[in-house]
Each structure stands twice: as C-alpha cells, then as structure tokens.
C-alpha cells in the first residue's frame, strides 16, 4: 500500500497549498490513499484553527473529482493539552473523522518552535516534561488513532542531541498505554527536510514499539506543500520490514485497516 497519512493544506494555518494541488500531485505520484490531517491547537491558536465545515465540503468535492483514482480520507491533527481536552472532545463528536493524530505541540500554551517551553529549563527537564505531558493526556483523552511524531522535541532542542536511551523508560510507558488503548504511532518522515537523521520516532523507539507488541503504524510525510509529498515512504517501509513489522495501517471511520508490507 502506497499511502501518505500526514498531509496539510491551506486549511492549516502553516500551509498555503490548496487541497486540490495536494490531491493532484498525490495522484500523479501514484499514491493509492492519502489522509489530510489539518492542524487544530485549541488554546494557543483558536482564531486560526481549521474551518471544519469548509474542510469537509472541500474533501467531498475532491473525493468526487478523483473518484476511482485515489482514496482521500478525512483526518485531523489535534494538538491536545490537558486543559483543552473538552474542546477536542466536542470537535471529535461533531465531525466524521476517519483518522486523528494526537500530537504534543505545546505545554501550558507554550510552544516548542518558539522555544517558549524550553526557556529556563535544563535539557533533561524539558525533555522529560515533554514525554510526561504526552502520557498525562493519553490517560484522559482516548479519541485519537495514533501518536504523532513521538520524539518531535528533538527538532526544537536548543541543546542538540539527547540520547534515546535517556527517554526509553518514558517512551515505553507511553507505548504500553497506547497499545493497551488500541492506539498506534505514526512514522513521520519530515526529519530529512529539517536536517535531522532518521525518522520521528527514531529507529530505536520503533524497535521498542515492535518489541512491546505494537502493530498499529501509519506513515506520513507531514508535508505542507506538494514538494514533500510521499517523502521517503518506500524507504520507511523497508526500515519497518527490517525491524520486523509486517503491516502498516490506513484508517476508515476511526478503524485501522491493515496492509501487508
């Protein structure tokens, strides 16, 4: 299955690419299925969040236009914080999503990309707090499909590399909870364009997920424009086979559909 399950269009505040351009390019690349996962981050970006009604209307238009050529799923990327769980719960209950990525983009309304959360903390403190925040939300919020770019904090670490071995106990705790809840993780291929090695999460964390019995995996480029659509998807599929995974997933009506690698 050739699929990209993390795409943003102009329905996300950080993309200017029309949805139709993304679909046209995906079809030209031979992708069999794609999923748009527009940003929603209540608390810090309420004013510029995805317009759900317009989003679903455009999806319906694209599905009709490309019927028989490519499957287009309705996804969303929720940047959940403990205090914003009620808003995300209400949105999930109102709209018919196929797929939901739960991502940690900020803690206490302090965004990582601005280094707001990292300021005044040691590397160990903000790294540990990041994974602890993910776990705390997971314990209370279950309306999602996969954990997005699990070790994304690496991209915004002003101190540089922080060894995986130091966060393995926290990562294991998170993965065990996800597996117990019937959730999965995504393999995000955006690291290449940010000058980082490997993927989000790293091979070491993917090996841990495999060893713990995790099976639900999606692959996404996290593309915000057509230039990065499907980045490294075949290479990641090969990596997953090396680790020992035998399947990847797509989603329909929030249910995983397994495809042989």
- Domain ranges for the chain, please list them: 8-260
Model pLDDT, residue 198 = 84
Q: Give the model's pLDDT for residue 47.
A: 56
Residue 147 reports pLDDT greater than 90: yes
C-alpha–C-alpha distance, residues 176 and 183, integer Å: 10
Query: What percentage of residues in the chain have a pLDDT greater than 90?
Result: 92
- Tens of pLDDT, residue by residue over 242-255, are 999 999 999 999 99
Q: Which of 36-45, 114-123, 175-184, 185-194 has the highest mean pLDDT?
A: 175-184
Residue 193, pLDDT score? 80
User: pLDDT tens, 26-58?
Assistant: 999 999 999 999 999 998 866 568 899 999 999
- At 194 the pLDDT is 81
The answer to whether 149 and 107 have CB atoms below 8 angstroms apart is no
pTM for this model (two decimals): 0.96
CATH of segment(s) 8-260: 3.20.20.140
Burial of 92 (0-12, 13-18, 19+ CB in 10 A): middle
Beta-strand pair 146-147/184-188 = parallel
Q: According to the model, what pLDDT value does residue 45 have?
A: 67
Q: What is the pLDDT of residue 163?
A: 95
pLDDT at 228 over 90: yes
Least trusted range by pLDDT, from 41-45, 90-94, 119-123, 213-217: 41-45
User: Is the predicted pLDDT of residue 230 greater than 70, yes or no?
Assistant: yes
Look at strands 110-111 and 106-107 and give their pairing: antiparallel
Give how far the C-alpha of residue 155 lies from the chain's centroid of Cα atoms, to the nearest Å: 14
């Amino acid at each position: 299955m050739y699929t990209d399950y993390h795409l943003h269009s102009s329905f996300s505040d950080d993309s200017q690419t029309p949805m139709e351009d993304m679909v046209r390019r995906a079809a030209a690349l031979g992708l069999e299925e794609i999923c748009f996962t527009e940003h929603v981050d209540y608390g810090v970006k309420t004013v510029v969040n995805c317009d759900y009604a317009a989003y679903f209307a455009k999806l319906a238009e694209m599905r009709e236009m490309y019927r028989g050529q490519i499957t287009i799923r309705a996804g969303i990327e929720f940047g959940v914080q403990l205090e914003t769980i009620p808003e995300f719960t209400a949105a999930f209950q109102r709209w018919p999503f196929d797929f939901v990525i739960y991502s940690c983009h900020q803690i206490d309304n302090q965004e990582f990309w601005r280094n707001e959360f990292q300021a005044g903390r040691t590397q160990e403190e903000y790294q540990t707090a990041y994974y602890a925040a993910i776990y705390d939300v997971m314990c209370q919020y279950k309306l999602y499909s996969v954990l997005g770019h699990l070790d994304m904090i690496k991209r915004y670490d002003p101190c540089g590399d922080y060894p995986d071995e130091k966060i393995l106990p926290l990562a294991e705790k998170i993965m065990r909870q996800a597996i117990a809840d019937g959730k999965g993780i995504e393999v995000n291929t955006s690291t290449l364009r940010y000058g980082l090695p490997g993927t989000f999460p790293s091979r070491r964390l993917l090996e841990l997920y495999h060893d713990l019995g995790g099976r639900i995996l999606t692959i996404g480029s996290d593309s915000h424009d057509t230039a990065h659509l499907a980045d490294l998807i075949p290479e990641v599929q090969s990596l997953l086979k090396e680790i020992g995974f035998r399947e990847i997933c797509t989603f329909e009506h929030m249910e995983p559909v397994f495809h042989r690698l």
